[in-house]
Chain A
């Protein structure tokens, strides 16, 4: 039980990881369909790109939009369900590799900050089993979701707007662009009149934002460790009082 408490990932973080892994599994399953894909190099490159999104969420967003684009543009003649199940093994293997890489990366980074969070062997195997389970469930969910999506280019035809609606979107976008550019120019002129102190505060803010994920994780661990120590101290003091 004590080992389980040492596990550095909180429930919330784990849930966000489940979402990420489910998305990742969906992306890996989609590769052969989108790229028409027998090439191993394409698969490997795509998996590496997906892996890179672990560090940069904006990269993930771009990837999702590219996939959406390909999804609507590609005509798939092969039965979708067959292709998804055919590539299931590749998805599970790739996902497991990525999950393990991520798992080791997280623990190593935390260990760099605090020696006391080094995981014991029992906890290591327990986490390993949980990770395998997560990967398997994520692939199953992704498969189920993808079977619901109509992978057919002709489905995009239904999304075509009427000319009047399209004109509204067109002029709306033009006005938004003009507004955005004007706003940007005014803001940038104002921005140049920053004082040195304000500039330093902004830079610190950006830096903290970039490192927020790791900092939050370390702060949580430190907090938990302090609570644990306090509990141990109070337990010892009550024992001494009783004796």
Chain B
């Protein structure tokens, strides 16, 4: 159950990063390059954290299942 919760949080972070990508595109439409660059850094941070959480929780689930 705990691993599933982590995985869900990981996917939510990935989804949040995609929402932020949309914000970046809106900034670019308004020619706000600096703001877009700042949000891109946030997108990368959220995406990396999300993927890490998903992978670790999946690996932990597989390892636990084999122990049981």
What 0/1 readout, one digit per residue, does chain B (34-56) give for beta carbons within 8 Å of chain A? 11001011100101110110111
B5 within 8 A of A: no
Which of B31, B34, B41, B54 makes the CB contact (< 8 A) with A61? Answer: B41
Residue of A nearest to B52 (CB): A206
What 0/1 readout, one digit per residue, does chain A (132-175) give for beta carbons within 8 Å of chain B? 00000000000000000000000010011101001001100110
A230 within 8 A of B: no
Residue of B nearest to A193 (CB): B62
Which of A159, A194, A196, A198 makes the CB contact (< 8 A) with B34? Answer: A159
- Decide yes or no: A72 and B34 within 8 Å by CB, A58-B45, A202-B55 being known contacts: yes
CB-defined contacts of B38 to chain A, threshold 8 Å: 65-66, 68-69
What 0/1 readout, one digit per residue, does chain A (34-70) give for beta carbons within 8 Å of chain B? 0000000000000000000000001001100110110
Secondary structure dominating the interface of A? helix
Q: Which of A62, A72, A161, A199 has the most CB of B within 10 A?
A: A199
CB-defined contacts of A69 to chain B, threshold 8 Å: 34-35, 38
Closest-CB distance, A164 to chain B (whole angstroms):
12
Closest-CB distance, A169 to chain B (whole angstroms):
6
Q: Is the CB of A196 within 8 A of B66?
A: yes
Which of A66, A156, A191 makes the CB contact (< 8 A) with B55? Answer: A191
Residue of A nearest to B60 (CB): A203
Q: How large is the interface on B (under 10, 10 to 19, 20 to 34, 35 or more residues)?
A: 20 to 34
Closest-CB distance, B67 to chain A (whole angstroms):
8
Cα distance A198–B65 when bound, in Å? 13
Cα distance A196–B45 when bound, in Å? 29
CB-defined contacts of A184 to chain B, threshold 8 Å: 14, 51
A75 within 8 A of B: no
- Decide yes or no: A203 and B34 within 8 Å by CB, A62-B45, A170-B25 being known contacts: no
A188 within 8 A of B: yes
A-B contact pairs, 13 of them (CB 8 A): A61-B45, A65-B41, A65-B42, A170-B25, A184-B14, A188-B54, A188-B58, A191-B54, A194-B58, A196-B62, A196-B63, A199-B60, A200-B59
Q: Which residues of A contact B (CB under 8 A)?
A: 58, 61-62, 65-66, 68-69, 72-73, 156, 159-161, 163, 166, 169-170, 173-174, 177, 180-181, 184, 188, 191-192, 194-196, 198-200, 202-203, 206
List the 9 closest pairs (A to B, CB-CB), nearest first. Answer: A196-B66, A199-B59, A199-B62, A69-B38, A65-B41, A199-B63, A65-B38, A202-B59, A72-B34
Instruction: Known pairs A180-B47, A198-B59; list 6 more (Cβ under 8 Å).
Output: A61-B41, A62-B42, A163-B31, A173-B25, A191-B54, A196-B66
